[in-house]
Structure 1
Amino acid sequence: MRIETSAGPAEVEIARPKRRPPAFLLVLTHGSGGGVDAKDLLAVRDSALELGGAVVLVTQPYRVAGRRAPGKAEIQDAAWLEIIAALRKKFRGVPLIQGGRSNGARVACRTAPQAKARGVVALSFPLHPPGKPEKSRRDELLAVGDIPVVVVNGARDPFGIPDPADATEVKVIAGQAHSYRTGFEEIAATITPWLLRWAPN
């Protein structure tokens, strides 16, 4: 389905748990030039569904329009909050967890307080541009405030790895770069216990 935003239409794919109301709503989005078919996103989706959560994969307006670069953060964030508002109308009264990979993780962190998210999943959070550690995006990660955030990054990520002190949990996947070729079971094993706090007993 499509959700209209001030930046253009976004496309969303909704997956619901079978035979029961969702325990939580997990909304995930892609990196700058990627899509919601990234294997790490799908590993997190599958884990959340097994725990009884509803999962929404969001293709942001700039990607629907065929662009690879997200543009200004203010425009991207405003559109994201509009998407979240529309989804909340479909999933009333359940905890919201939002996240994404790379640029999507940045959006999720920056908007978490305004979205009133209960948690954030940050996959391959790009701490800085490759080779430019002085241009840190640490402030975006810290924008979550007191909201729990779990970070999963590859050990060889040229975009850097957040400091463990700056998140609730930082998991480093050995041998992996910014895009994962393996380690999806490890990602799922990290995310599953973290999501359990919102899952039914």
Structure 2
Amino acid sequence: MTDSPAPADPGETALQFDVDGAPVSALSGRPPGADATVVVAHGAGTGLEHPFLTGFTRALRDAGLATLRFNFPYREQGRRMPGRPAPAIAAWRAAVAAAEHLAAEAGSAGEPIWASGKSYGGRMASMAVAEGMPAAGLVFVGYPLHPPGKPDRPRDEHLIGLTLPMLFLQGTNDPFAIPNEQLADATARIGPNAALEWIEGGGHSFEVKGRKRPADEVGAGLAPAVAAFVRAHAER
């Protein structure tokens, strides 16, 4: 890992780590007393700098959790949309390794490392875990269960059989999870290790019709549920 220029948020440090020999950008932050890290990946059409993720990770740190958010390789290469899953899965493995290294440097070696992501970022995290990547748990911030309008093409087969804790945060108006019963059924089939929390009226970015809020505020509003889930499983 190498340092990068200072980020806009004074609570974070910019760094880079290698994915298959190429550097990707990341931002890390650790509040005093943190005993778990949440690694966060962006959605398909954005990057780590998106205000939603800025607000989300800042609120997680305010709740006492360390954070690491990073770019996928395609984003670093200037492309707008992802290609094959393999580079994203490799990026997830490298990001978790970076989080473990940062925790050890802070005197917290072996602390729980959680994998979280907005939409595509969360799905890639789950695919990495299904392929053997270690993680204390998964947090999905708007899971893309199927392409909009195509519930006959679900993306949940790799989730069945995973036994680590999983939290699904989902808007009831998210076109990637309509009908809602389909995601409820998927989490039921995963088993009791999966929890589903609906955000009433929320769209794919958790926007609620008739209630305009900045994206960083929307992201921050989801952090308490995530922190509570992480803490609950740390106590078991």
Class of the TM-score when normalised by the shorter of the 2 chains:
0.7 to 0.9
Contact 2:43 2:119 in 1 (8 A): yes
- Aligned mates of 1:82, 1:186 — CA distance in 2: 28
Name the aligned partner's letter for residue 225 of structure 2.
T
Q: 1:119 to 1:43 in 2, by over 3 A?
A: farther
Give the length in aligned residue pairs.
197
**Structure 1 residue 17 and structure 2 residue 31: aligned?**
yes
Contact 2:99 2:113 in 1 (8 A): no
Name the aligned partner's letter for residue 175 of structure 1.
G
- Aligned mates of 1:185, 1:47 — CA distance in 2: 5
Number of the residue aligned with 2:206: 180
Number of the residue aligned with 2:123: 106
The runs of 5 or more residues in structure 2 that have no matched partner are 1-14, 104-108, 208-212
The alpha-carbon deviation at position 43 of structure 1 amounts to 4.5
- Aligned mates of 1:83, 1:184 — CA distance in 2: 21
Q: Following superposition of structure 1 onto structure 2, how do residues 86-165 of structure 1 map, counting pairs within 5 Å?
A: 86-91=98-103, 92-112=109-129, 114-142=132-160, 145-160=162-177, 161=180, 162-163=183-184, 164-165=187-188
Q: Secondary structure of the equivalent of 1:120? A: strand
The alpha-carbon deviation at position 171 of structure 1 amounts to 1.1
Q: Secondary structure of the equivalent of 2:23? A: strand
TM-score by length of 2: 0.74
The alpha-carbon deviation at position 196 of structure 1 amounts to 1.4
Larger radius of gyration: 2
Contact 2:96 2:113 in 1 (8 A): no
The alpha-carbon deviation at position 81 of structure 1 amounts to 0.9
Q: Deviations over 1:41-86 (max 9, x none)?
A: 3444234323432100111111111112211112221232123223
- Aligned mates of 1:184, 1:87 — CA distance in 2: 21
The runs of 5 or more residues in structure 1 that have no matched partner are none
- Aligned mates of 1:129, 1:158 — CA distance in 2: 8
Q: CA RMSD in A?
A: 2.3
Q: Deviations over 1:110-166 (max 9, x none)?
A: 1125221011110110000111111110124336x1010101111111111522414
Q: Deviations over 1:12-44 (max 9, x none)?
A: 1011113x3x30111001000112244553444
Number of the residue aligned with 1:72: 84
- Aligned mates of 1:99, 1:83 — CA distance in 2: 11
